[in-house]
Structure 1
Amino acid sequence: MMKSFRKMKACQAATVLELHESFLIKDFVVPLLLQDKLSVVEDFLEDSSFHQNSIVMFLDDLLEEKNIPEEMERISEELKVEDAKLHRFNQKYINKLIGRYLKDFKLSPELCPNYVALQKRKALHFVIWKKYIDKTLEGESWSEMMLEVVKDCPKLQYEMVESLTGHLDDDEAYRWCNYFQLDKEKLPARLKYMIETANLPNDGEEENWDDEEEIESWKNSPAVDMSNFPEVPIKMPKWKKP
């Protein structure tokens, strides 16, 4: 307990004396974070962009771990942290901390690719739910939202296609395969067979999609962290053989 108290006092002293450059996050920022001393940690971080970046990258690396509790226990033992609140450190809590620090310290999301991927995956599930379960998302607004979620992430593009085939919407799955020119060998078996046998829908007229109200609803939704939507309507390609 005395060591924990000393680390907290050392962190507070370093903050007051502006000695940030003399310490790494593992000296007392990480130990105090594990002890749930967030106010002390954040006072220290406030005046050091280097440590802000470092702690966000540290937390983001944890999101990549298959067994977060086990990794937190290892770190706690390595740093000799007493009274660590390890039960708090699950994916949800770490995700919340990263989002908080990105916002409070105005940091770039590029620091935390695992966090960004997790947010986009949540957005993907939300958009799929809106279309196939809630049945309140159709047409151009569906295309714009889905494109915004997966356009920069090939891995999510394949996950999207798998989800669409899981909802038995092979036609829509093929449209996106065609749009992103996805590798046929990585597609779900049923969709791959559909392409190989050229069992494709006939060309038809483009749909006239118009659902501006739904787009605004999505932009303002608290369920996902997505805010940028293209100003020009997205036109999905007509069906064609690959």
Structure 2
Amino acid sequence: MSTRIYAAGTGRILRQLRADRRTVAMILLVPSLLMVLLYFLYANVPTPAGQQSLFDRIAIAMLGILPFVVMFLITSIAMQRERTSGTLERLLTTPMSKLELLASYGSAFSVAALGQALLACAVAFGALGLTTTGPVVWVLVSAVLVAMLGVSIGLLCSAFAKTEFQAVQFMPLVVLPQFFLCGLLVPRDQMPDWLHIISNFLPLTYAVDALQEVSLHTGVTGRMGADIAVVVGFTVLALCAGAATLRRRTP
């Protein structure tokens, strides 16, 4: 990879994002607003003595799930728009490689993901009173990494879509099964064996598990480190797969 080309690509995408105020607002505000909705949804649910409140248990996982969903949608649509507008074809006639292009997208949207995670954590821990046993900084790190995972998977899925509408249609196929099997709705050890096995191959499972480790332990555990490593590995793998399958334009 050329550092100069990669940096130029990242700068181009950041400038495009800055000019698109609606997209910036969606990236920054949607997770925070949904956290507020979640708070009022569980505000009157009683908490048994000595147990973690239902809001705390659900909200810590949603700090990873919501950025994943938002970034998946935005990046898959953005890349498809680049292809249908002809911008992608023009870019790939330059010395920029496919991997440099996707890495630029990953870096640019990671900056947006950082702002998203900072605001969502500030709202959750500051305004809504979310509490965890572990340090908040690890929640922030996990949230950013999960958002980057959503970016990389969104870029990969966009390679198989012919229109922006088709890119959105990948959400129920790619995102919802991960949400159902990540362990938030039903603990994974209570799932049927075949569903438990499937969940082992889904990256959001490890993201949610890492956040739950932060909520229950004061320091970094070996399990949390392994979870984060898996999330990073899936992110890199999805970016490489996206570069291998990226087409210049839609037939």
TM-score range, shorter chain: under 0.3
The structure showing larger relative contact order (alpha-carbon pairs under 8 Å, at least 6 residues apart) is 2
Larger Rg: 1
Bigger proportion of residues as helix: 2
Q: TM-score w.r.t. structure 1 length?
A: 0.28
TM-score, normalised via structure 2 length: 0.27
